[in-house]
Structure 1
Amino acid sequence: MADMHYDAIVVGSGISGGWAAKELTEKGLKVLLLERGRNIEHVKDYVNAQKEAWDYPHRGRPTNAMKDEFPVLRRDYPLSESTYGMWANEQENPYVEEKRFDWFRGYHVGGRSLMWGRQTYRHSAMDFEANAREGIAVDWPIRYEDVAPWYDYVERFAGISGNRDGLDVLPDGEFLPPIPLNVVEKDVAARLQQAYGGKRYLINARTANITEPRPEQNRSSCQYRNKCVLGCPYGAYFSTQSATLPAAVATGNLTLRPFSIVRELIYDKDNKRVKGVEVIDAETGLTYEYTANIVFLNASTFNSTWILMNSATDVWEGGLGSSSGELGHNVMDHHFRVGARGSVEGFEDMYYYGRRPAGFYVPRFRNVPGDDPRNYLRGFGYQGSASRGGWSRAAEELGVGEDLKNALTTPGEWGINMLAFGEILPYHDNKISLNKGVTDKWGLPVLSFDVSMRDNEFEMRKDMKQDAIEMLEAAGVKNVEGYETPYAPGMGIHEMGTARMGRDPATSVLNGNNQVWDAPNVFVTDGACMTSASCVNPSLTYMALTARAADFAVEELKKGNL
């Protein structure tokens, strides 16, 4: 039998769990990293990374059998032949939707760090202050200045390409050279600057794809294949497998145990500490107990909260961390699927090379200093790109023979698209709860979701579309049309909240160091800890908060406080 006691246990091996494992092992702790799903080994197990569309029987499109197998995943783009097997089995891992919630999960070593969009932006000082300023939910117990050095730290290791733009609303970071804008994007950026007097910007996307090799991490520069979701054999984008897991393994202090479902944290009533975890072996069904001095919960937002809810229920009916009445509440995501697109003239003699993994970003400009107040709180940003039409543009035409070939010997017209991502406020009654009437393959209760958008978000969406139209028209884009397709919470795959940080144990689950108030040797540093959402992609903040909490935890261990 392997060792059953460790200095630290990390639950979950995704973006934040990988960081916890790296930081704790590098600081000398013996760490057990638990993952509920299978192992995926770097390079060897990226089975589709070198395939092209014609290598799949259905050119990558999901089959009817796959749609039946994944009734939730089929609702949006993630379900395809190329990523089949990379998402959680929905038959074995059901959940209940009191209201529609699209929960897209990755249950394997590396989690969604293998499939994420890699857009990496810092929260601003305004983001950390917004709740207090507006009287929404509770105040963050930290400010930008508390996290800034940790943003620096994780950016330097992860490798973030971007440009230093000097914007208060979107703080600069420690960047590698940016992935360049193409000729049309540069032109639109310049026109926007002129049209709005320097108050709106179109900048290089900031993305976790390295643009300079990292030989010390055995990572090569991005190859511009844009197949990131299939796993990168070059290690060109940041993932657990490419970066944090190798660093943790190199210390000799890590034990990785896949197929390990944490059923509950073992709570010691006398010491008011958690002494370990109870694990179900996903393959055999056998149960094991592992003990540790500290536990980091990084199982992904809702699964970390599920573990808390299922722990110490003999002390708190709602589970460990529920004494405030906030555990499971304040679910957030980013709402999107709204924006504008159009065509661009005058660049018919210009093209681009490769398939960039990122395009441009338009930082938030609503409800910021200098902007007229809107009839909603917070704001949004845009992600997008410009490109030329390819061969598929002829699929709707009836061309044949010579006419068809001639039509496809030159690229199509230039087009540009801007897709908005908006902030959702932390509403107390947007919540998850344990549903003991429905169980998963291992007999464990599942989560019920009761989450919906509110008037604030619906009002924001009007600007998200109209502002995109106006900006493209101001930049000289032709045939501009706005669009909006149905959005349901969860579709942004940026789930946050349910175990929020705060200043008071009466109104929050975690303190300013990500410790559970009711068990200070338990740290939650994934999306569950978020007190508000900002409008930028959140993963970089998870990384920074995890590194910060790990540093604090080790210092507290040395002092004998944990």
Structure 2
Amino acid sequence: MANFNIDAEKDVTYDAIVIGSGISGGWAAKELCEKGLKTLVLERGRIVEHVVDYPTMNLDPWDMELRGGLTPEEQKKHYKGIRSGFIGKDTEHFHANDEENPYTEDKPFLWIRAHQMGGRSILWGKQTYRWSDLDFEANAKDGYGVDWPIRYKDIEPWYTYVEKFAGISGEPLGLPHLPDSHFLPAMELNCVEKDLKQRLEKQFPGRHLIIGRCAHLTVPHNGRGQCQYRNRCSRGCPYGAYFSSNAVTLPAANATGNLTIRPFSIVQSIIYDDQLGKATGVRIIDAETNEAIEYKARIIFCNASCLSSTQILLNSKSNRFENGLGNDSGELGHNLMDHTYRIGAMGRVEGFDDKYYKGRRPNGIYIPRYVNLDEATKSDKFVRGFGFQGGAGRAGAREAANQNSFGADFKEQLFQPGPWEFFITGFSECLPYHDNRVYLNKDVLDKWGQPTLSIDAEFKENEKALNDRIQVDAVEMLERCGVKDIVGFNNHHEMGYGIHEMGTARMGRDPKTSVLNEFNQVHGAKNVFVTDGACMTSSSCVNPSLTYMAITARAADHAVSELNKQNI
């Protein structure tokens, strides 16, 4: 599809370099290319072309070795990531090799990585929610972290801009703390979810149960097909129905003729010129040949993913930046956040035995935040808040796996759907703590001889108090909605399971306490932009990817404007 720079071409100068091709990197490439800049995208891993490189997109479990399980050799390659429970034969090829890319856990931390064109945009959960001023003002109001240098009004038009292109399905609610998006038609709640919606909203005025807002097309959009309800999204969607860089932004960038993608490019550092007072390019190591190559550009967008971008910045040292590019404040690598996850309740729903649903909807329900919105909902146990995701469905033949039954009657039972079940799990906000950090580990090197990351972070008392409330509320809601045999759960997991790493190169108003300004420019190197999860100043309690998209489009617009004015 694109112009691939795979032979270390002699032409090493571009208008712009984008490091990484995931959700934010794809948007950076699209915006910069469409604005006329010859743009080089540096991708750490291999090329993955839309449809062509989705080998398991149509396979059933019985079509795969071990019915989709991993061999011992494959498990060893993913000895860290396998803890997530998300890696099987159907997606193993999209997950990074942990042996070649080690990291050290000072405290337990699960770091899921995807080193190929498209990054984790192939694998993500696609839940997309706007943030509000409840989120952008939180730090200033309760004193945790530093104040965001932007407010909702600054990013609102950019939310609309990216939503119109990406395609977000959902229903409007009119809630000020969860602003409505520019929506495609919403997916439908099933019969049990509709019933529980009525019960919950009657029992708990001010709480809402809605279909999830997600980056899935429910109608054809911008030349892409609509969702077929296969729920095989993480294998790559041949219809382009969910948003990924591979299906959406990179093809748009390529259509301009301005895109070059260089795979197998391990970014070693960003090159800073002390005399010019700005970055001049990027130094890479060819992952296949170990050759060191330097590429030059007028602007650089760092979109390698939250922790990888910070790793690159920490490793980008010069006389001006002895402790890493942009680290005048000492905050680079600090304030790591993630969402808590896997806390909630589940149970059995009576009735509706004569009803079923069609397809495998790749989306669930959402219960928006309802605590600490105002004085009436304020808690004295914790600050910030949480929301719930979940859904209803019928148990199936898998329940028979551990039974001793046999014979014709048993086989007939396997074709009968099991009872209706309903579950909700909470996602709560993590505060930006300075001592939740990452740093370079020069004693543990990767396959290419580069320093790796050590991660020293944990959920603290506020997150634990939020989780306690999540479980109590989940059980209470299910009880009052008539759900039976309720089981509350709290897996007490470490950070990383939410796969929403944020912070470590935060935006801020003051260069003394932040790494980036209001347009995501490194304070001390204005032609370097960071617009992935590293830039986040707080974490909200909703999924962050839509905000990455909007922030990236906004920063790219500013970057080109500043280039045209010769300010950078």
1:451 maps to 2:449:
no
Cα distance in structure 2, aligned partners of 1:141 and 1:372: 25
SS at match of 1:415: strand
Partner of 2:559: 553
Segments of 5+ residues of structure 2 without an aligned counterpart are: 1-8
1:212 maps to 2:219:
yes
SS at match of 1:535: coil
- Out of 152, 158, 167, the residue aligned to residue 160 of structure 2 is 152
Superposition map of 1:241-252 within 5 A:
241-252=246-257
Return the letter of the residue paired with 1:416.
F
Partner of 2:87: 79
Per-residue CA distance 1:217-276 (angstroms, 9 max, x = gap): 3x1000000000000011010000110000000000011111111111111111210011
Return the letter of the residue paired with 1:209.
H
Which range moves more in the overlay, 360-369 or 58-67? 58-67
Deviation at 1:208, TM superposition (A): 0.6
- Out of 273, 276, 285, the residue aligned to residue 268 of structure 1 is 273
Partner of 2:468: 462
Partner of 2:5: none
Cα distance in structure 1, aligned partners of 2:558 and 2:232: 37
1:425 maps to 2:431:
yes
- Out of 478, 503, 524, the residue aligned to residue 472 of structure 1 is 478
Cα distance in structure 1, aligned partners of 2:477 and 2:506: 36
Per-residue CA distance 1:47-101 (angstroms, 9 max, x = gap): 0001001011211122333222221112121221111221111111111111111
Superposition map of 1:73-472 within 5 A:
73-197=81-205, 199-214=206-221, 216-217=222-223, 219-369=224-374, 370-472=376-478
1:42 maps to 2:50:
yes
Return the letter of the residue paired with 2:140.
A
SS at match of 2:333: coil
Return the letter of the residue paired with 1:292.
A
Which range moves more in the overlay, 344-353 or 77-86? 77-86
Cα distance in structure 2, aligned partners of 1:277 and 1:316: 15
Which range moves more in the overlay, 34-43 or 315-324? 315-324
Return the letter of the residue paired with 2:157.
P
SS at match of 2:251: helix
Cα distance in structure 1, aligned partners of 2:128 and 2:147: 24
Per-residue CA distance 1:496-544 (angstroms, 9 max, x = gap): 0000000000000000000000100000000000000001011000000
Return the letter of the residue paired with 2:398.
S
Return the letter of the residue paired with 1:58.
L
Which range moves more in the overlay, 418-427 or 396-405? 396-405
TM-score of the superposition, structure 2-length normalised? 0.97
Return the letter of the residue paired with 2:172.
R
1:22 maps to 2:27:
no
SS at match of 2:247: helix
Partner of 2:510: 504
CA contact (8 A) 1:376 1:460 kept: yes
Which range moves more in the overlay, 405-414 or 298-307? 405-414
1:526 maps to 2:521:
no
Give 4+ residue runs of structure 1 displaced > 6 Å after superposition: none
Return the letter of the residue paired with 2:193.
E
SS at match of 1:8: strand
SS at match of 1:58: helix
Return the letter of the residue paired with 1:144.
Y
CA contact (8 A) 2:341 2:428 kept: yes
Cα distance in structure 2, aligned partners of 1:474 and 1:520: 55
SS at match of 1:47: coil
CA contact (8 A) 2:337 2:539 kept: yes
Cα distance in structure 1, aligned partners of 2:76 and 2:271: 38
Cα distance in structure 2, aligned partners of 1:359 and 1:202: 10
Segments of 5+ residues of structure 1 without an aligned counterpart are: none
Cα distance in structure 2, aligned partners of 1:205 and 1:92: 37
CA contact (8 A) 1:16 1:543 kept: yes
TM-score of the superposition, structure 1-length normalised? 0.98
Return the letter of the residue paired with 2:199.
R
RMSD in angstroms over aligned alpha carbons? 1.0
Per-residue CA distance 1:458-503 (angstroms, 9 max, x = gap): 1111111110011111111111110111311111110000000000
Cα distance in structure 1, aligned partners of 2:123 and 2:226: 18
CA contact (8 A) 1:389 1:415 kept: yes
SS at match of 1:438: strand
Cα distance in structure 2, aligned partners of 1:399 and 1:136: 57
- Out of 505, 514, 518, the residue aligned to residue 520 of structure 2 is 514
Cα distance in structure 1, aligned partners of 2:541 and 2:442: 34
Cα distance in structure 1, aligned partners of 2:440 and 2:319: 15
Cα distance in structure 2, aligned partners of 1:313 and 1:491: 35
Cα distance in structure 2, aligned partners of 1:381 and 1:2: 52
CA contact (8 A) 2:44 2:115 kept: yes
Cα distance in structure 1, aligned partners of 2:525 and 2:58: 46
Partner of 1:51: 59
Cα distance in structure 1, aligned partners of 2:519 and 2:491: 39
Partner of 2:6: none
Return the letter of the residue paired with 1:200.
R
Cα distance in structure 2, aligned partners of 1:119 and 1:96: 30
CA contact (8 A) 2:347 2:483 kept: yes
Partner of 2:496: 490
Deviation at 1:400, TM superposition (A): 1.0
Return the letter of the residue paired with 1:78.
F
CA contact (8 A) 1:515 1:521 kept: yes
Per-residue CA distance 1:372-397 (angstroms, 9 max, x = gap): 42311111111101001111122222
CA contact (8 A) 1:367 1:374 kept: no
Deviation at 1:160, TM superposition (A): 0.6
CA contact (8 A) 1:366 1:374 kept: no
SS at match of 2:474: helix
The share of aligned pairs that are identical, in percent, is 56
Return the letter of the residue paired with 1:77.
G
Return the letter of the residue paired with 1:303.
S
Deviation at 1:2, TM superposition (A): 4.1
Distance 1:58-1:135 versus aligned 2 partners, 3 A rule: same
